[in-house]
């Protein structure tokens, strides 16, 4: 069972790596931000799968920290984005 979890974590990391290309070469800021959200979500998923497959202590805490940082990055992007309806 642990092998299947680690293979799933590897597949998720592969899709996250493809998303990293989108971060680097995205045409717009919104595309880049969505790719960063993919990186955060995929990273959390891979970390949680690795934590379930192994007995390494603290991996769940790292996943939680990554989830918090990812959500704060999204909020910061929305707050900093220029909007036409601001007065």
Domain ranges of the chain: 2-80
pLDDT tens digit string along 32-52?
788 888 888 999 999 999 999
Cβ within 8 Å of residue 60, ≥6 positions away? 47, 48, 51
Stated as kind and residue range, the H or E segment containing 7 is helix 2-25
pTM of the model: 0.81
Q: In whole angstroms, what is the distance from residue 61 CA to residue 59 CA? A: 5
Are 53 and 9 within 8 A, CB to CB?
yes
Provide the pLDDT for residue 85: 53
**CA-only gyration radius of the chain, Å:** 16
Q: What is the DSSP letter of 86?
A: -
What are the tens digits of pLDDT across the range 18-30?
A: 878 877 777 788 8
């Amino acid at each position: 069972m642990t092998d299947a979890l680690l293979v799933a974590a590897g597949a998720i990391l592969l899709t996250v790596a493809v998303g990293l290309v989108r971060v680097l070469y995205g045409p717009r800021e919104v595309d880049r931000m969505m790719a960063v959200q993919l990186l955060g979500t995929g990273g959390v998923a891979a970390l949680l799968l690795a934590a379930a497959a192994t007995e390494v202590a603290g991996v769940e805490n790292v996943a939680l920290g990554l989830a918090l940082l990812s959500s704060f990055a999204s909020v910061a992007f929305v707050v900093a984005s220029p909007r036409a309806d601001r007065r």
